């Protein structure tokens, strides 16, 4: 297996920088909810969103391959004096199957290690 730097991409070939992640589990249904927070999007900064397709899927890429995620929600929060400054982007999605959860956590472990972050589970 080749050495692949883990990346998160809304648009193919444009790696984004994850600022934070929050994981929750619904006790009744067992469904896990993931909230990924980005302080900026490289795709928007370079207008890649107009030239490389749409953000209907989120790609999580590492040495095991690619995980394609369909976000439930993608919120862009703006602020600043004029209200036009991007403050952060919040992407949420659900993971139901235990095997998918295990694969996601392996990705997060690799992503955290490669980017000087900590990813911990309680």
Ranges of each domain in the chain: 7-114
Q: With 70 as the cut, is the pLDDT of residue 1 above it?
A: no
What is the value of pTM for the model shown? 0.85
Per-residue pLDDT tens over the stretch 16-35: 999 999 999 999 999 999 99
* Cα distance between residue 97 and residue 37, in whole Å: 23
Residue 48 has pLDDT above 90, yes or no: no
- Contact in structure between 72 and 92 (CB atoms under 8 Å): yes
Mean pLDDT for all residues in the chain: 87
Q: Which fold has domain 7-114?
A: Elongation Factor Tu (Ef-tu); domain 3 (2.40.30)
Of the listed ranges 22-26, 41-45, 70-74, 108-112, the least confidently predicted one is 41-45
Mean pLDDT of 28-43: 92
For residue 90, name the pLDDT band (cuts at 50, 70, 90).
very high
Query: Do 55 and 36 form a contact (C-beta atoms < 8 A)?
Result: no
pLDDT band of residue 64 (cuts 50, 70, 90) is very high
């Amino acid at each position: 297996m080749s050495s692949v730097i883990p990346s998160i991409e809304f648009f193919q070939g444009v790696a984004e920088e994850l600022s934070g992640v929050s994981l929750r589990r619904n006790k009744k249904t067992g469904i896990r909810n993931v909230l990924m927070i980005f302080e900026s999007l490289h795709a928007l900064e370079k207008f890649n969103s107009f030239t490389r397709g749409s953000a209907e899927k989120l790609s999580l890429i590492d040495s095991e391959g690619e995980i394609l995620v369909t976000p439930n929600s993608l919120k862009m929060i703006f602020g600043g004096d004029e209200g036009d400054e991007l403050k952060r982007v919040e992407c949420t999605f659900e993971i139901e199957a235990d095997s998918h959860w295990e694969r996601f956590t392996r990705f997060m472990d690799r992503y955290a290690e490669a980017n000087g972050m900590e990813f911990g589970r309680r």
